[in-house]
Amino acid sequence: MAKAFKFEKTGQSIGILYFDLEGEKINKLSTEVMMELSGHIDQLKNQTDLKCLLLMSKKEGIFIAGADISEIKDINDEQSGYETAHNGQLIFDQFANLPFPTVAVIDGACMGGGTELSLACTYRLATDSPKTKIALPEVNLGILPGLGGTVRLPKLIGLQRSFDIILTGRNLNAKKAWKVGLVDKVIAAEWALEKAVEFTGEVIDGKTKKYIKRRKPKGLVSLLLEKNILGRRILFSQAKKIVLKKSKGHYPAPIKALETIKKTYKMSVKKGLEIEARALGELVCTQISKNLIQLFLWTQEIKKENGTSNESISGKDINKAGVLGAGVMGGGIAQLFASKEIQVRVKDINYDAVAKAYQQAAQVLKSQLKRRRISKYEYKQIMLRISGGVDYSGFKNTDLVVEAIVEDLNIKKKILTELENYVGENTVIATNTSSLLVDDMAEAIKKKDRFVGMHFFNPVHRMPLVEIVRGKRSSDEAVATVFNLSKKMGKTPIVVNDGPGFLVNRLLLPYMVEAISLLEEGHSVAEIDKAMLKFGMPMGPIELFDEVGVDVAFKVAKILQETMADRMAESDLLQKMVDADRLGKKNGRGFYRYKGRKKEDDPSIKEFITLKERSYLSGTELAKRMVYPMINEAARCLEEGIALRPRDVDVGMIFGTGFAPFRGGLLKYAESEGLDNIVNQLDVFEKEFGQRFKPSAALLKIQESAKGFYESEK
C-alpha cells in the first residue's frame, strides 16, 4: 500500500502533516488514503505538546485534487453512496475536532474533497501561485460536495458567496478566495512554509480574531437577506430561478445542493452532515452523474495521451508560431497562442487585414480584463507577443505555422506552396480548414509529413475542442506536436482521420440540414429551436446557423454535398438567405434579427421558405428527426476510421457542438435509446420522408451484434 502522509515537527509545538501520495503525480482521496488519514488523526489526538498543526502538500502545483473519481464511478446504489460520504465525513469531522488549531496551507490545485478537508481546518492559507485554484466542482459531475462542503462553507462565508461556489463549481484563485472569506490570508508561494509557520505564531498568541471577523459578509444587504428568515427565503428562491434558467432543469445536482444548504444552514454540523450524505447517495447513482463522471474520466485520459499510438513521442515544443490569415479565426488563434506565452507572427495581404487580428485579440482580452481574469499588465504582455506584417518576415524561425485563410482549395494550395519557402526545415504546418481535405492541400507541400489539420472551432477562445486531422502522410511527430500544444492551450483535442467535414462538421451537417427540411414542412423557427433546447442543446439549430454564419454554413454544405448528397434533402433556402444578405448574427439579420446581443423573431423569414408537404411532429419527434441522422452518420465515421473510437465521437460532439453533456454524448445517448428503437424509427422516417434516413450498413452491423457502440469497440 502506497503511503500518503508524513508527520513532522518544526520547533517545539508546531506539527506538519504532509500529503505526498507515493507513485502519483497528484494527491487524491481514495479509500486507502482516507483510512491512512484516520490513523494519523488517532495519533495526533494524543500529541499533547502540539499547539498548532499545518496541513501541507509536497506535490508541486497540487494541494489535493479531490476524491478518487474512479471509486465514485462504481457506486450504483443510494445506500453505498450514503455510506461512502458518511465514512469520509466522520474522518474529516475528527480532523475538525483535533485538540489544537489546524491550518490548511493551499499551494496549487485544491478541488472537491481537498477543499472540504481545508474547510475542516480552523484556518486556511493560500499561496499566490497561479496554479493555486480552489473549487467545489462536484455539481459538474452530477453530484454535490459530500464531505461537508454544503454544510461548512455556508456557515463559514454566508449563503450568497457559498451559492456562487457550490452551485457553479467555478475555480477561485487565491485572491478571490481571500476576498470571499474562504481563505484567511494569501502568502508568497516561494516562502510558503516560512509564512505558514509565521502564521501559527499569530494563532498560538490568539491574534486571529481579525481573520475570523472578516469571513462573513456584513452590512445592510447581509442583515436583510442572510440574517432573517424572510431574506433567506428570497435568496433561496432567486438562486433556484438562476439555476433552473442556466440548467434548463436537465441537471438535478445544483438543485439538490441548494435544497441541502437550505435544510442544513441552521442545523448543527453533525445533523447537517447526515442530510448531505443522504443527498449525495441519491445523486451518485443517477445516469446523469454516471455520464458526467465518464466525460470527466475521458478528458483525464486525453490529458495523458499524445494523439498517436507511440507513447514515447512528445512532439516539438512550440515557442514561436505563425498564423496566415488575420480574420476572426486567425486573430482568435493568435490571441490563444500569445496567452500561453508563445510569440506569434501574423501575415495577411494588407495592413488593414493584419490590424483586424490585433482587434480580435484585444476584444477577447478586454473581456477577460473586464471580468478580472487577467490584469492590465498581463493584457499588455499578451498583446506584445503578437506581431504582424504583409510578408513572411519572422516566419523562418517559427516552430509551427497555422494557415487560417479563406476556405478555397486553390488559394490555400497556392499559399502553402509559397509558405514552404519561408519556414524552417522542421517547422510543422497546420491548416485550420473546416471542410477541405487535408490530403488535397498536402499536394502543394514538398515535405508532406509535417502537414496536419488543426481545426479550431469558433469562437476560438471559448470552444474547448480542437480536431487534429491526420492526413495519409502526416507524421506521428507532427500529430503529437499539435495534440500536445492543444492541451497546453487548455483545449481538449481529438485525433480524426482525413475525410469530408472530418468528424464534428460531418455529423453536424445532417442535423442542420434536417432543421431546414422541418422549416420547409411548416414547422416554425421557434418550434424547431425549442425542441432542441428542451433536448439539452445549448442553442437550437436555426440559431446555430446565425451564430456560425449562414454563408459559412452554406459553403460547408456545398462542399460536403459532393460526398453526402444521398443523406441531405435538397433545398435552396440557404442560397436565398445568402443572396438576400441575411448572413446571421454578424450582420444583424439571418433567421432571427439581432439588436446588439438581443435576439428577436423575424416573421419575414417566411418569405424565403418554400413550403413542401406538411408534417405535424411533436417536440420529441422533431428532436429524433434531427439527432438520429447524426447517430447514423457516426456509425459510418467509425466504420470508415474517421473517428478512431466511440469516445472521440462523444467528446467531439460535446466539446465541439455543446451536445447535451448530461446525456453522455451522441453515442452514449444512442445506447440509452436502444439501437433497435433507433433503427426502427429511421425506417419509419425513411418511408415518410425519404431515402436519406435509411439506416446505414455500419449502424445495422452494430445493431445486429447486440453490443452497442462501446461494447463493439472491445
Assigned C-alpha cell, 99: 485538540
Spatial contact of 461 and 430, defined as CB atoms under 8 Å apart:
no
Residue 714 confidence (pLDDT) above 70: no
Q: What pLDDT sits at residue 260? A: 97
Average confidence (pLDDT) over 417-424: 95
Assigned C-alpha cell, 679: 433503427
Q: What pLDDT sits at residue 607? A: 92
AA identity, residue 604? S
Map residue 168 onto helix, strand or coil.
coil
Calpha distance 667→39 (Å, rounded) = 44
Calpha distance 62→50 (Å, rounded) = 26
Map residue 260 onto helix, strand or coil.
helix
**247-256: per-residue pLDDT in tens?**
888 999 999 9
Average confidence (pLDDT) over 389-416: 95
Calpha distance 13→27 (Å, rounded) = 26
User: Regarding the domain delimited by 505-543+551-576+610-713, which CATH topology (the fold level of the hierarchy) does it fall under?
Assistant: N-(1-d-carboxylethyl)-l-norvaline Dehydrogenase; domain 2 (1.10.1040)
Per the annotation, the verdict on 455 as an active-site residue is yes
Which of the residue ranges 145-154, 500-509, 559-568 would you say has the lowest mean pLDDT?
559-568
Average confidence (pLDDT) over 164-171: 95
Q: What pLDDT sits at residue 597? A: 79
Cβ neighbours of residue 285 under 8 Å, at least 6 residues apart? 75, 76, 77, 78, 80, 81
Residue 117 confidence (pLDDT) above 70: yes
Please state, as a whole number, how many other Cβ atoms lie within 10 Å of the Cβ of residue 68.
Answer: 16
Calpha distance 104→99 (Å, rounded) = 16
> What string of H, E and C letters represents the secondary structure of 468-497?
EEECCCCCHHHHHHHHHHHHHCCCEEEEEE
Calpha distance 143→148 (Å, rounded) = 13
Mean pLDDT score across all residues of the chain:
94
Strand-pair partners of 12:
none
C-alpha to C-alpha distances, 341 to 50, 337, 381, nearest whole angstrom:
45, 7, 9
Calpha distance 209→438 (Å, rounded) = 64
Q: What pLDDT sits at residue 558? A: 85
Spatial contact of 646 and 652, defined as CB atoms under 8 Å apart:
no
**517-573: per-residue pLDDT in tens?**
999 999 999 999 999 999 999 999 999 999 989 998 998 888 888 888 788 888 899
Q: Kindly indicate the confidence band of residue 675, based on its pLDDT and cuts at 50, 70 and 90.
A: very high
Spans of all domains in the chain = 5-285, 320-498, 505-543+551-576+610-713
Q: What pLDDT sits at residue 216? A: 84
In what helix (H) or strand (E) does residue 465 lie, and over which residues does it extend? strand 465-470
Please state, as a whole number, how many other Cβ atoms lie within 10 Å of the Cβ of residue 208.
Answer: 18
Map residue 79 onto helix, strand or coil.
helix
Superfamily holding 5-285: 2-enoyl-CoA Hydratase; Chain A, domain 1 (3.90.226.10)
502 alpha-carbon distance from chain centroid: 21
Residue 222 confidence (pLDDT) above 80: no
Average confidence (pLDDT) over 52-60: 96
Q: What does 366-398 look like in DSSP terms, one character per residue? A: HHHHHTTSS-HHHHHHHHHTEEEESS-TT-TT-
Spatial contact of 64 and 34, defined as CB atoms under 8 Å apart:
no
Residue 711 confidence (pLDDT) above 90: no
Dihedrals φ, ψ of 556, to 5°?
A: -65, -45
Q: Kindly indicate the confidence band of residue 1, based on its pLDDT and cuts at 50, 70 and 90.
A: low
Q: What pLDDT sits at residue 244? A: 93
Q: Kindly indicate the confidence band of residue 596, based on its pLDDT and cuts at 50, 70 and 90.
A: confident
Residue 713 confidence (pLDDT) above 80: no
Calpha distance 487→492 (Å, rounded) = 6
Whose cell is 435568496? That residue is 235
Q: What pLDDT sits at residue 217? A: 83
Residue 219 confidence (pLDDT) above 80: no
Cβ neighbours of residue 211 under 8 Å, at least 6 residues apart? 123, 184, 185
Q: What pLDDT sits at residue 567? A: 82
Which of the residue ranges 113-117, 462-466, 614-618 would you say has the lowest mean pLDDT?
614-618
Average confidence (pLDDT) over 215-223: 78
Q: What pLDDT sits at residue 563? A: 81
Pairing of strands 14-19, 52-57: parallel
CATH 3.40.50.720 fits 320-498, yes or no: yes
Tell me the HSE value of 311 on the side-chain side, using a 13 A CA sphere: 5
Calpha distance 383→515 (Å, rounded) = 41
Length of the chain equals: 714
Residue 490 confidence (pLDDT) above 90: yes
Residue 672 confidence (pLDDT) above 70: yes
Give the residue from 639, 630, 624, 626 showing the smallest Cα distance to 698: 639
Q: Which one from 40, 86, 455, 523 is the annotated catalytic residue?
A: 455
Whose cell is 471580468? That residue is 371
